[in-house]
Amino acid sequence: MTALRLEKLAHSYKSHPSRPEDYALKEINQVWQTGGAYALLGPSGCGKTTLLNILSGLVIPSQGRVYFDDRDVTELPTEKRNIAQVFQFPVIYDTMTVRENLAFPLKNRGMDPAGIKTRVDEIAALLDLSRDLDRRAKGLTADAKQKISLGRGLVRPDVTAVLFDEPLTVIDPQLKWELRSKLKEIHRKLAVTMIYVTHDQTEALTFADKVIVMSEGEVVQIGTPEELFEKPLHRFVGHFIGSPGMNFLPCTLAGTKARIGGFEIDLGVSFAADPKAKLELGIRPDFIKLAPPGVGLPVRIDRIDDLGRNRIAHVRLEGQRLAVTVPAILETGSDDLTVVFDHRRIGIFANDRRIEPDDRGGA
């Protein structure tokens, strides 16, 4: 069964949109499966909330249709959509106990008291709220209140989807880390479709099976966390995912070689690129090695940042900045070193989009 289908969906807040920039959400066609954990990831203003509001019924799209389980819900109000929502800030009743808060969405839909108790106990246990069930919400910390909000979103067993809008914003950093993993675990247990909006790549990559990366109103890639890391299809994804992001170097192509300034890099395969396109070679810092002089392409080290688990060397190749992951102990002896690229991990990008190798070419 299909959970959510977005057909030729687009939205402009302007009454007469004419240019692509007039759209807060550019056309998307997506099918999201029942029980999936999805994240909408992108920087502020990229259209995440617009898309979420279209799913929840707060915004009627200016173009296209939204289907829940083959039911056209495009114009249905929120309360008729059978969805649950969790917002950035707690939405709870302060005067009620935690149990009453969690039970509320179930009582509202006429569930029998025994069923309510079982479900509330289950959700409270998943969120470590069991001990607080009989306390009034009023005296609890902001963290605990947001956990109740999460519980209220998760408690109904019959929803089409649970929508989360940056739900961990108010959570203390330490607890944030725990809750992120917990939400993933809860998703596995409850197997309900969850859609999680965030601008934080760690939250998106920890939580989601599939991440929908958005930039300037456009879905630039939908993929598993591994796919986004290993094979970004758009320059934006390479840059946005990873810390630091992918390196991009302007290049030209000749047969199976890429040329960066005066240097050649063997790609092992050839690419048929539009000769007028802006061409770039993309490679993640993890797939470049520093080597002694004479081995690879000569670079100069600008500085080395210690990130705890690893270190990042910032170097210059032909004047271009390049980030390289280096081991904790690096005996350089000199600022003049070389870099070696793992050619299997190189992507070629034409006008910001990854291009595939040419079938005919290559070793």
For binding to ligand ATP (CB under 6 A), which residues are involved?
13, 24, 42, 44-50, 199
C-alpha dihedral (348, 354, 358, 363), degrees to nearest 10: 40
Judged by beta carbon, residue 42 or residue 238, the one nearer ligand ATP is 42
Cα–Cα dist 20/103, whole Å: 45
Least separation in angstroms between CB 214 and ligand ATP: 7
Judged by beta carbon, residue 44 or residue 334, the one nearer ligand ATP is 44
Cα–Cα dist 230/36, whole Å: 21
Least separation in angstroms between CB 17 and ligand ATP: 11
Burial profile 149-179: b = 16 or more Cβ within 10 angstroms, e = fewer? bbbbbbbbeebbbbbbbbbbeebeeebbeeb
Least separation in angstroms between CB 27 and ligand ATP: 15
Decide if 333 contacts 292 (C-beta within 8 A): no
- Helix axis angle for 173-190 and 142-154, nearest 10°, is 10
Judged by beta carbon, residue 54 or residue 299, the one nearer ligand ATP is 54
Judged by beta carbon, residue 47 or residue 282, the one nearer ligand ATP is 47
Which residue in 147, 144, 348, 361 sits closest to 252, CA to CA? 348
**329 residue type, one letter:** I
**28 residue type, one letter:** I
Which residue in 33, 30, 41, 5 sits closest to 207, CA to CA? 41
Least separation in angstroms between CB 166 and ligand ATP: 7
Cα–Cα dist 147/130, whole Å: 12
- Helix axis angle for 98-108 and 113-126, nearest 10°, is 130
Judged by beta carbon, residue 50 or residue 325, the one nearer ligand ATP is 50
Judged by beta carbon, residue 48 or residue 210, the one nearer ligand ATP is 48
Least separation in angstroms between CB 150 and ligand ATP: 19
Judged by beta carbon, residue 24 or residue 324, the one nearer ligand ATP is 24
Least separation in angstroms between CB 241 and ligand ATP: 16
Termini Cα distance of the chain: 44
Least separation in angstroms between CB 49 and ligand ATP: 3
